[in-house]
Amino acid sequence: MNKKAIILAVLILFVIICGMFIFGYLTQKEVMAPSADPLGSDTQVEEKPRFSIDTVELKHFYTESVGVHTLVGEFMPPTSCDTIVDSVVLLDDGARALVSFGMMSAGEGAECTPLTAPVPFKTGFLAKKDITIDAVFEGKDITVKLVEAGPDERP
């Protein structure tokens, strides 16, 4: 092959490769640039109000033969997509139970309806009979109204 043809082919290949890099760089900048709001600038996203509670009423059942405490109550979450979760931790060498409540949401895209009736819950733990029961909701202390169950009641 002739020397001029080889130099011309290498030069054309070099220009093509440089063009590809420049095109890739410009495309990347375009993708990373913030896009305009398709709904308009005056549209506001409605933020869901934060659900919280200050007091919880718990009906307390104690089964002496096995040492099981059962707590029954109800919450009124804002929507059908919200679920109350709970856990119990024994503290102070088993002299105190801390019931932790939290909220889990189904997330975006789910069809959620406002609730009109409270949602019941039940939780239990093993401990000695005389125990102090405290509660927190998402890490914040809440007041516990403990109602002792009668001898004929069942959880």
pLDDT for the residue numbered 71: 94
* Model pTM score: 0.63
Residue, of 1 and 66, whose pLDDT is higher: 66
Average pLDDT over residues 23-44: 59
Residue, of 155 and 63, whose pLDDT is higher: 63
Confidence band for 96, pLDDT divided at 50, 70 and 90: very high
One DSSP character per residue, 79-147 reads BTTEEEEEEEEEETTTTEEEEEEEEEE--TT----B-SS-EEEEEEEE--SS-EEEEEETTEEEEEEEE
Confidence band for 155, pLDDT divided at 50, 70 and 90: confident
Instruction: Tell me the C-alpha distance between 145 and 58, whole Å.
Output: 6
Place of tokens 């102070």: 92
Query: Do 72 and 41 contact (CB within 8 A), yes or no?
Result: no
